[in-house]
């Protein structure tokens, strides 16, 4: 029997951010992860720290996202201090490019609603085609305008994941790969998890296994409504720096490659790629930046987002099952800082976090209580 203070199930960006935050508080943490054969989003994301547009008609999520990007310099500094790894955090703002007047009108409406909902504290600019080309040289003639927000930015997501692993190890977190959780049992003293012949015991358990949270939640009698949504990404050869701001469809990495995305597909658990979607992504990228028409593509992949029934994060700590926490979201990069520096202290019981309560499971069935039946 292996014993620890806290078990985090899931070694992706969400699980590792929480594990790091708990380790910063001095907790003894073990992370149990299925390994590289698991369906995961951590190595397939775009690397954006994106605020603009998020939280439309759900202003608390907009505020939660803003809080996270404000905390990101603190997280990047802590990770660098613990590991020496530069995650290449850049928060100089970002552009949403619009290829039609309808897109421009929609973005204007969403951002206007968010600014009003946050009582004016929501900076952005609407730029026509001429203004946009002054700010972002090289934009194609089919781009009719864009929206700029100084709140946005990006990081290198692979360096972020690597730094989280290294930082957790430096602070004593135990990382155990290749485990498939077969059962979770709530006991008077905490929890026992079974993975084949192995047994693990802890006072607290955090389920942060992405799409696996649906099966894990059912083990303790909870319905966690998450489902996959596929996105595909294309990667070009390395180019001389030309794009100094991230955009929602195209961003240049610190290594010189250019990422092209994204797609939103209902493909079940198929994380493969398809030529029609890749062609659409490439065509749109060339519309945004015509210079990309002649570059070589060197890689492509698909990855599955972890989407809740309403698209918002899930943060649940059921009163009937003390010591259990469930965390699911599709913005593991953007929310990494708030997960490590605010959500982890809430999980640890360091202080109450009123913002978290809005993202509980009860919102999916407001007439029912979240109960533990295991």
Place of tokens 């939280």: 55
| 3-class SS letters over 337-354 | HHHHHHHHHHHHCCCCCH
User: Does residue 1 surpass a pLDDT of 80?
Assistant: no
User: Does residue 366 surpass a pLDDT of 80?
Assistant: no
Mean of the pLDDT values across residues 111-139?
97
Nearest CA-CA partner of 303 in 250, 253, 233: 233
User: Does residue 373 surpass a pLDDT of 70?
Assistant: no
- Give backbone dihedrals phi and psi of 261, rounded to 5 degrees, phi first: -160, -170
Residue 35: pLDDT band (50, 70, 90) is confident
Mean of the pLDDT values across residues 233-239?
97
Residue 367: pLDDT band (50, 70, 90) is low
Name beta bridge partners: 304.
230
**Residue 364: DSSP 8-state:** G
Residues 44-60 pLDDT 10s: 788 999 999 999 999 99
Domain 2-47+158-225+310-364 classified CATH 3.50.50.60? yes
User: Does residue 247 surpass a pLDDT of 80?
Assistant: yes
Residues 269-328 pLDDT 10s: 999 999 999 999 999 999 999 999 999 999 999 999 999 999 999 999 998 899 999 999
Calpha distance 59→110 (Å, rounded): 11
Place of tokens 């009003």: 116
Q: For residue 127, give the 3-state DSSP assignment.
A: strand
Residue 368: pLDDT band (50, 70, 90) is low
Q: Are 231 and 267 in contact (CB under 8 A)?
A: no
Mean pLDDT (the chain) is 94
Structure tokens at 362: 């009860």
Task: Return the CATH number of the domain spanning residue range 227-308.
Answer: 3.30.9.10
Calpha distance 277→31 (Å, rounded): 35
> What pLDDT, on a 0 to 100 scale, did the predictor assign at position 134?
96
Q: Where in the chain is the domain with CATH 3.50.50.60?
A: 2-47+158-225+310-364
Q: Where in the chain is the domain with CATH 3.30.9.10?
A: 227-308
Name beta bridge partners: 147.
96, 126
- Note the residue count of the chain: 374
Residue 371: pLDDT band (50, 70, 90) is very low
Mean of the pLDDT values across residues 78-85?
98
Residues 184-211 pLDDT 10s: 999 988 999 999 999 999 999 999 999 9
């Amino acid at each position: 029997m292996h014993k620890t203070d806290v078990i985090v199930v899931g070694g992706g960006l969400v699980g590792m951010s929480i594990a790091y935050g708990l380790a910063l508080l001095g907790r003894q943490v073990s992370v149990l992860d299925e390994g590289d054969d698991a369906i995961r989003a951590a190595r397939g994301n775009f690397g954006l720290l994106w605020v603009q547009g998020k939280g439309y008609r759900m202003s608390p999520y907009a505020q939660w996202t803003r809080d996270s990007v404000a905390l990101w310099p603190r997280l990047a500094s802590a990770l660098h201090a613990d590991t020496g790894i530069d995650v290449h955090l850049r928060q100089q703002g970002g552009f949403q490019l619009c290829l039609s007047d309808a897109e421009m009108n929609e973005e204007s409406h969403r951002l206007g609603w968010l600014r009003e909902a946050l009582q004016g504290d929501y900076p952005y600019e609407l730029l026509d085609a001429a203004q946009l080309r002054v700010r972002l040289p090289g934009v194609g003639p089919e781009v009719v305008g864009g929206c700029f927000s100084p709140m946005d930015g990006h990081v290198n997501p692979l360096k972020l994941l690597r730094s989280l692993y290294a930082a957790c190890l430096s602070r004593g977190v135990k990382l155990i790969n290749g485990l498939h959780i077969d059962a979770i049992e709530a006991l008077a003293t905490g929890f026992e998890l079974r993975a084949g012949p192995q047994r693990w015991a802890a006072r607290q358990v955090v389920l942060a296994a992405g799409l696996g949270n649906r099966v894990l939640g059912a083990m303790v009698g909870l319905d966690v409504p998450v489902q996959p949504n596929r996105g595909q990404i294309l990667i070009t050869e390395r180019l001389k720096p030309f794009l100094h701001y991230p955009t929602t469809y195209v961003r240049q990495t610190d290594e010189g490659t250019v990422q092209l995305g994204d797609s939103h597909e209902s493909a079940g658990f198929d994380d493969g790629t398809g030529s029609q979607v890749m062609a659409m992504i490439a065509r749109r990228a060339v519309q945004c930046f015509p210079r990309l028409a002649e570059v070589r593509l060197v890689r492509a992949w698909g990855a599955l987002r972890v989407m809740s029934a309403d698209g918002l994060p899930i943060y649940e700590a059921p009163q009937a099952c003390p010591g259990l926490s469930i965390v699911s979201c599709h913005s593991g990069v953007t929310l990494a800082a708030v997960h490590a520096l605010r959500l982890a202290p809430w999980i640890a019981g360091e202080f109450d976090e009123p913002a978290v309560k809005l993202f509980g499971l009860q919102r999916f069935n407001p007439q029912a209580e979240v109960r533990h039946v295991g």
